[in-house]
Amino acid sequence: MPEALRLKGQGASPGSARGPAHVMAPEDGHALGVRANGSDAARLVAAVERAVEDLRALAGRSDLESAAILEFQIEMLRDPALLEPSLERIQRGAEAGTAWAATMDAYVASFEEAEDEHIRARGADMRDIRQQVLRALHGERPPDFPKGAILVGRDIAPSLFLSHDWSQGGAIALFGGSVASHVATLARSRGVPMVVGVPRADIETGMELVVDGDEGTVEDGRAVPPSAAAVQGASAMPASMGGSAVTPDEVPLRTADGVRLTVQANIDHPSELRHLSPAGLDGIGLFRTEYLMGSAADLADEERQVEVYADMLAWAGGRPVTIRLLDFGADKPPPGEAVDPSSFLGLRGIRLLLARPDVLRTQVRALLRAAPAGQLRVLLPMVTAPSELEQTRTVFAEEAARLAARGVPHAMPPLGLMVEVPAAALMPEAFDAAFFSFGTNDLAQYLSASARDNAAVSPLYAAAHVAVLRFLAMTVPVVAATGRPVGICGDLAGDPGALPALLACGLRDFSMAPRRMTLARAALSRLNADGSEARG
């Protein structure tokens, strides 16, 4: 019997899944074998229009985050600069499909040769656009694959991800791909396990695989006992794939020796709330508002922001909702702006917002207006110096005064600190914050001096795990000594292996992705408040 397959790549979306492999056929483009004729230019223009119509229809069935990604593709297709080179090739005698494929291959190559990983990741969008127009030229239907399957291939198109039904599970294992791609973003928000950069191997359709997005592994199902995979899969299963992530009888949660703990949800998009019961949560510990912003127009749309925030507060039914101010910069550039590779250490988070007061003030007004709808708390990202908190508090006070002068109902929410810069963690007494929340994803990045989305240094980021826990053991008690509430909202909060150390630090408030709650709650209930395993 041959040795069971075990491949190591890079985890792009956490969680695990078991299922039959579906190996995608290489893209051939159907660019050859058709004779050119006088109608090729008109055929290509019509095919582009059909592709745009199909994308618009798919966007209309998608949530705001997904629709924003599809709008990027629509804008690219609408750009005359994308079509003109193909029309020039047709004038020189090329067939429509051949001309389009040649043009798009050049665009894909230009993206994939870029030094910046985020720019390279857009190559998947360009390949997607290439294939959509070629399918429209040939009257072909978009591809799909069986529900619950493990998709294996070089890469996956955003449109294929969005059109597929993930309700019965499944996962993605790519020989190429990127943690910075649009599909990786979508997979994380929907709880679909994904591993990229997997070494090429002899995988056949139908072969049972187990994908672990936390460890970045793809294994032959024969090497992983079904019971173990089932337990892993339970932690990865998103709410949209089988009911609520938690049930009401799981609240409140206590340690084995009776200490009360709170478990809240990290939310990337309001659409996730459809699959959660507020009665099963202690609240929303982190709402990442930047994922609402698909365009520059969204940044200026105060009324839309008010509606989204108020709806979330109403959904929570009086439970606390912690909304983070826009955390743009580094791997999340503002809509329509290019990635700045230096911005992990430059303008990002609150630094960027204070430098862009128009964007900050719009969001502040929306939060003030929505606050009467529930128990709102506001979290400031990437704070380093006390002056940043004070400047932000001044903006809140000024906008509240303007709303009062206009007779607009509003309320002032408490302002808290996202503790992700080591300097802030070491001097919490300098900040007049209402509460503190440790963001361990960026904290690990800054402690290890390695970008968390850069595949070249990702082993260093992972190696910082022990250092992060040691740093928390030093700083959480210092923060707690301020007398203000302190919690954790990074990925470590939902890692069962880290929970004993986090309890030992003194943490009692945990906020995590909904898909991680079941295993995390079970692990916490078996531990004493000092992190030790309960006996008996």
Residues near 326 by beta carbon (within 8 Å), at least 6 away in sequence: 289, 290, 293, 299, 353, 359, 360, 363, 381
DSSP helix/strand/coil, 289: helix
Provide φ and ψ at 248, rounded to 5°.
Answer: -55, -30
Residues annotated as part of the active site: 182, 489
Instruction: Give the integer Cα–Cα distance in Å for 523 and 9.
Output: 28
Instruction: Give the integer Cα–Cα distance in Å for 312 and 374.
Output: 9
Instruction: Give the integer Cα–Cα distance in Å for 516 and 522.
Output: 10
Residues near 411 by beta carbon (within 8 Å), at least 6 away in sequence: 368, 371, 372, 376
The token pair that represents 301 in the structure block: 């749309």
Give the CA-trace dihedral at 163, 165, 170, 174, to 10 degrees.
-10
Displacement of CA 378 from its chain's centroid (Å)? 20
The token pair that represents 269 in the structure block: 């998009």
DSSP helix/strand/coil, 321: strand
Which amino acid does the sequence have at 236? Answer: A
Instruction: Pick the closest to residue 356 from 402, 299, 413, 312 (CA basis).
Output: 299
The token pair that represents 413 in the structure block: 């929410």
Instruction: Give the integer Cα–Cα distance in Å for 13 and 17.
Output: 11
In this structure, are residues 198 and 9 in contact, taking their beta carbons and an 8 Å threshold?
A: yes
Instruction: Give the integer Cα–Cα distance in Å for 314 and 339.
Output: 35
* Count of alpha carbons within 13 angstroms of residue 99, beta-carbon side: 26
Residues near 282 by beta carbon (within 8 Å), at least 6 away in sequence: 251, 252, 262, 263, 264, 319, 320
Q: For helices 440-448 and 465-480, what crossing angle results, to 10°?
A: 120
